Amino acid sequence: MRNSYLFTSESVSEGHPDKVADQISDAVVDLFLSKDPEARVACETLTTTNLVVLAGEIRGKGIMDEAGNWAEGIEQEIEDVVRQTVRKIGYEQDGFHWSNLEFQNHLHPQSAHIAQGVDAGEGKDEGAGDQGIMFGFACDETPDLMPATLYYSHKILEKLAADRHSGAAPFLEPDAKSQVTLRFANGRPVEATAVVVSTQHKQGYDAGEQEAELKDYVKKAVASVIPAELLTDQTVYHINPTGSFVIGGPDGDSGLTGRKIIVDTYGGAAPHGGGAFSGKDPTKVDRSAAYVARYLAKNIVAAGLATRCTIQLSYAIGVSEPLSLYVDTHGTGTVGDDVLEQAIGKIERLGRLTPRGIRTLLGLNKPIYEATAAYGHFGRKAEGDLFPWEKTDLVDELKALAAA
């Protein structure tokens, strides 16, 4: 590894237009899974000035029949979920307001050709919902085994959102972005060289004392998140560098589901297979296999078998078992990467990493996804049914198998 280098990651807040779209799509997934745990959902969302549009393919009991007829009352439930999601984020602006935005629902039945490849049948296990490659990653830069640049970028925006919702920072509005640049020495973060925060604000907080109040607040928020030993007199802050940021969210820019996949995963510190997560039920391996790959990588690092680990899985549509499993510990492993690949293959409760096996292992057929749609799908706390891929309950098995 290089001795010294700079690395940067960014995050966006729950009020960013793309994240509004992600949260709406996952709120719809949760609604459908609450009615039918085997529901098939591919829900895309478009947001723009006072408009939300849904499109995609769905199937499920109590939701829609094969002819495209909605179950009684479900269309109103969908609209209510969409409006409440926007309300919870905090949008009550002239250009985007939860109560008076226009809503269009263009969801339709899932293609029969997709269904025939995915559904289990006589002598056939459930197949992957699509082809593709999925990556998981973990490193020991932070307590949650995430890349430090992304971890702190997320935490800054979570702090701003918490203070906005509580009233501690009443001048903030929902849309925001952050970016953290760290200097690494011998592979470890040693200094924050630059921090960028652009936050939507109420009228008047772009000049004079009110601007100073906003910038002072942001610096204190950053200091509450980034460890003191990383912040120095040389740390450069760019706070609302373009000036006024009153018009934001879907009124300032359109939003689409799945446009923030690097924010959702590892901030550029690891590869990404290309598939988005939000709006997809867990038969879609874009989502479920990426989750189990993170689970495996995190457990390898938590077990002390490596300080950095990347895992790749690949699938073919309609085929149950992965086509390949690849482990790379980037020269930090205590055993060979091939030994770890073999160890993973011997853990029976992984269910051969089939879509059904992954869903059963992690309990993914539940309405747990809206919570994932802002501030990253990884590096979160496993609580109850939420974020089960963040558990480290494979540690003992991996240690024993690696030592065998």
pLDDT tens-digit series, residues 40-81: 999 999 999 999 999 999 999 999 988 889 999 999 999 999
In a domain, 57, yes or no: yes
385 is in an annotated binding site: no
Q: Is 38 annotated as a binding residue?
A: no
Task: Tell me: do 219 and 322 sit in the same domain.
Answer: no
What is the torsional sign of CA 226, 228, 232, 238? Answer: positive
**Residue 16 in marked binding region:** yes
In a domain, 244, yes or no: yes
Residue 9 and residue 152 in one domain? yes
- Which pTM was predicted? 0.96
Is residue 299 domain-shared with residue 398, that is, in the same domain? yes
Residue 313 sits at φ, ψ, to 5 deg, of -120, 150
Residue 46 lies in a domain: yes
pLDDT tens digits, 305-328? 999 999 999 999 889 999 999 999
pLDDT of residue 127: 80
Is 348 annotated for ligand binding? no
- Banded model confidence at residue 119, pLDDT cuts 50, 70, 90: low
Determine whether the annotation assigns residue 259 to a binding site.
yes
Q: Is 44 annotated as a binding residue?
A: yes
**pLDDT band, very low/low/confident/very high, at 141 (cuts 50, 70, 90):** very high
Structural domain tally of the chain?
A: 3
Of the candidates 80, 96, 79, 106, the one whose C-alpha atom is nearest the C-alpha of residue 16 is: 96
Residues 163 and 235 in one domain: yes
State residue 120's pLDDT score: 60
| Sign for the pseudo-dihedral over CA of 309, 8, 199, 53 | negative
> Domain for residue 126, yes or no?
no
Q: Tell me, what CATH number does 174's domain have?
A: 3.30.300.10
Q: Are residues 55 and 154 in the same domain?
A: no
CA atoms within 13 A on the CB side of 159: 18
What average pLDDT score do residues 97-119 get? 82
Query: Is 348 part of a structural domain of the chain?
Result: yes
Mean pLDDT of 179-205: 97
144 annotated as belonging to a binding site for a ligand: no
Supply the range of the domain harboring residue 373. Answer: 132-140+269-274+282-403
Let me know whether 75 and 23 are in one domain.
yes
By the 8 A CB rule, do 24 and 286 touch?
no
Same domain for 136 and 204: no
111 and 215, same structural domain?
A: no
Is 57 labeled as ligand-binding? yes
Nearest to 88 by CA among 11, 170, 163, 20: 20
The per-residue pLDDT of the chain, averaged, comes to 95
118 or 391, which is more confident:
391
Same domain flag for 103 and 136:
no
Tell whether residue 207 is among the known ligand binding residues: no
* Cα 234 to Cα 195: distance, rounded to the nearest angstrom: 11
Query: Is 290 among the domain residues?
Result: yes
Chain-centroid distance of CA 249 in Å reads: 19
User: What does the pLDDT average to over 257-279?
Assistant: 97
Q: Is residue 55 part of a domain?
A: yes
Verify that 95 and 24 share a domain, yes or no. yes
Pair (396, 292) in one structural domain: yes
Residue 352 among known ligand-binding residues: no
**Radius of gyration in angstroms for the set of CA atoms belonging to the chain, rounded to a whole number:** 22
3-state secondary structure of 180: strand
Mark whether 379 and 302 lie in a shared domain.
yes
Q: pLDDT digit string (tens) for 25-45?
A: 999 999 999 999 999 999 999
Domain assignment present for 157: yes
What pLDDT, on the 0 to 100 scale, is given for residue 117?
Answer: 58
Is pLDDT above 90 for 353? yes
* Res 126: pLDDT: 80
